[in-house]
Amino acid sequence: MRLLGFGILKGMAVTLENFVRSYFDRDRRHHLFTKEYAWEPGAPAEVLPARADTTVTAHSRNFPILLHDGADPMGGIRCVACQICERECPPQCIYIEKDYDEQGKYIKRPAIFDIDLSVCMSCQICVEVCPFDAIVMDSQFELSTANRFGGLLQHRDQLLKSNEYYHRIHPEEARARDDRMAQEKAEKEAKQAAADAAKKKAAEAKAAAEIAAEKSKPEPSAPTAGGAA
Amino acid sequence: MTQTLLNLLAIAVPLAVGFASLFAFTTWLERKILARIQNRIGPNRISLPFTRFRRLFGLIQPAADGLKMLAKEDIVPRDADKLLHLLAPILSLVPPMMVLCLLPLELPYATAGMRALQAAALDNAVLLFFAITSLNTLAVFMAGWASRNKYSLLGGMRAVAQMVSYEIPLVLSAAVVIMAAGGMNAQAIVEAQRAQWFIFTPWGLAAFLIFFIASLAETNRSPFDLPEAESEIIAGYFTEYSGFKFALFFLGEYLAIFAVSGLAVTLFLGGGAGPWVAAYPALSCVWFLAKIFALIFVMIWLRGTLPRLRVDQLMGFAWKFLLPLSLLNLFVAAAALKLAKPWLSWPVGALVLYGAAVALSRSHRADAAPRTYSYAE
């Protein structure tokens, strides 16, 4: 049994540690995030952001984007319009419609994929539930537009970004995701290969058994029994 | 007559000016502490003009804020009730200002004539304190009503419900001390703690914790800051206030924090008692303020730690947890005060109170299941 109010005391210990160590500790976990005088000419190198084209770090997370492999956005789109993210989204900001070809057959990609940025709260749950690694978080926060509502509803083609872009904004995370995907793919292929081999072997064994049976029983009158299926 | 008036001014002016400047310091302190809790720096840019003192840790920031507030346009909504809209911030400032003089704060230069005028010497100072601070609810609801804004009204309604609910455990936990001290005179209560501060008794500790939690709710401090919950209802009851009226609300809120912390120090932490007070009586004032600021530090620390409660959790906590516990604490205190064997009060009192707290918290545990994901594991 835990002490009553233990959770509060634990939380207070964490914040007090931050408070005290922010004055003394220089290590990464407790360093001050505010960079002073970064805009002044001749600012020391450690106050400048890591990349020249952005002011945010690789740890920043903002609204979700869709990923595609290769150069053609719709050719390499990872999303298969399974609608898991649409169902899991707490504020329900995602709207998806499946795509069908002329025969009315479901082709695995979204015809419509909209995210309402005025509703999205950047919780990242869509990223966590996606089984296809198709949706990840962006770090773009400068989203001001000249009109009032236009920029709020992001459509599929605006959301589609290349895997290279993802590697640029969140290098470590993208690498880890690629590695995991490659590993999963290899495992799947190995499994498939093993299954194929087993099937082939079984077929061969069956054929051999049939040949053997035919050899041992020259009379063709007795049909082969089903075995212990 | 002139002498009386001068004495009165000598007490009232330092209290009003002193606590108002402490308010400025506290806003700076709060921003700095919160910043450090979040591994930021906090305000540090404003420099003293025309001097070579460049930054002073941002201590000049409150002055700049005050100037900005003064210079801002005073916007009153077209459909607002203009008179109530004007009166609400003023009324929100009056009760905390009044109760500050009920604190047994011994001004170092006070003569006997001045002490006789101090309101702390009143025989029912504690009762008067609660009577006056409950006026604050009226100011808050006035602001919420007069603004003619849905967020303001929501904030005002929340504030009324919250302040009325938490006033009961607040008063009940103070009643324990009144029982022990045998009176409501603030100086007599401090005097009664000469041998042992009331916080060092089981019932005193429980009453102090209840009092502190309820005072957080009374002054709209996090985690009970629902009346002004930024992420839900903009700024609650003062959504439609700008410029100096907003600053008055801000000032009133912080003065209420000083007042209620001062009362907690009076009731539980021995008032101005502390080391070397006997040798240097002027230190009493310093100790009193130091204890107030220790409590304020904990308040800021809690604000940096805890998320805001839901409305139902807030009301449930007051009525189902704090109220029964503070009632039980009355009985425990009565038993402990009449107990033949004083050494028994700690084990028995602590066991009864802690057991009751655990039982209460278990019986009201929320039934809501954690969020389940239908696809992800």
Per-residue pLDDT reduced to its tens digit, A95-148: 999 999 899 899 888 999 999 988 999 999 999 999 999 999 988 877 777 877
Within 8 A of A134 by CB-CB distance, chain B residues are none
Please give the angle made by the CA atoms of B182, B188 and B192, to the nearest 5 degrees. 70
- What span, in angstroms and rounded, lies between the C-alpha atoms of A16 and B301? 8
Quick one: pLDDT at residue B374?
64
Quick one: pLDDT at residue B323?
92
User: Helices then strands (H, E): number in chain B?
Assistant: 15, 0
User: Which long-range contacts does B324-327 make (Cβ < 8 Å, 24+ apart)?
Assistant: B324/B356, B324/B360, B325/B169, B325/B206, B325/B210, B325/B353, B325/B356, B325/B357, B325/B360, B326/B168, B326/B169, B326/B172, B326/B173, B326/B176, B326/B207, B326/B210, B327/B172
Residue type, A21: R
Indicate the angle between helix axes B323-338 and B202-218, nearest 10 degrees. 150
Tens of pLDDT along B244-270?
Answer: 889 898 899 999 999 999 999 999 988
B54 CB near a chain A CB, below 8 Å?
A: no
Tens of pLDDT along B178-205?
Answer: 988 888 888 888 888 888 888 888 888 9
Q: Find tokens 């490659």 and name the residue.
A: A182
pLDDT beyond 90 at B293: yes
Tell me which residues of chain A, numbers 4 to 23, contact chain B at a CB-CB cutoff of 8 Å.
Answer: 4, 8, 11-12, 14-16, 18-19, 22-23
**Mean pLDDT value of segment A178-194:** 92
User: Helices then strands (H, E): number in chain A?
Assistant: 6, 6
Q: How far is CA B138 from the centre of its chain?
A: 17
Within 8 A of B33 by CB-CB distance, chain A residues are 19
Nearest CA in chain A to B356: A4
Percent of chain B with pLDDT strictly greater than 90? 22
- Taking the model in full, what pTM does it have? 0.71
Beta-bridged to residue A96, according to DSSP, are A113
Best residue in B32, B33, B36, B40 for a mutation probing chain A (most A CBs within 10 Å): B36
pLDDT beyond 70 at B327: yes
For residues A192-210, b (16+ Cβ closer than 10 Å) or e, as one string? eeeeeeeeeeeeeeeeeee
Quick one: pLDDT at residue A229?
44
Compute the half-sphere exposure of residue B214: CA atoms within 13 Å on the CB side of its CA.
28
Residue B103, classed as helix, strand or coil, is coil
Question: Around Cβ A17, how many Cβ atoms within 10 Å?
Answer: 14
B163's enclosing H/E stretch is: helix B150-181
> Hey, which bits of B277-375 come out as E strands?
none
Mean pLDDT check: name the lowest of A109-123, B93-107, B129-143, B351-365. Answer: B351-365
Tens of pLDDT along B150-171?
Answer: 889 988 898 889 988 999 999 9
Cβ contact A18–B375 (<8 Å): no
Question: Around Cβ A89, how many Cβ atoms within 10 Å?
Answer: 21
Best residue in B208, B298, B375, B377 for a mutation probing chain A (most A CBs within 10 Å): B375
- What span, in angstroms and rounded, lies between the C-alpha atoms of A2 and A110? 49
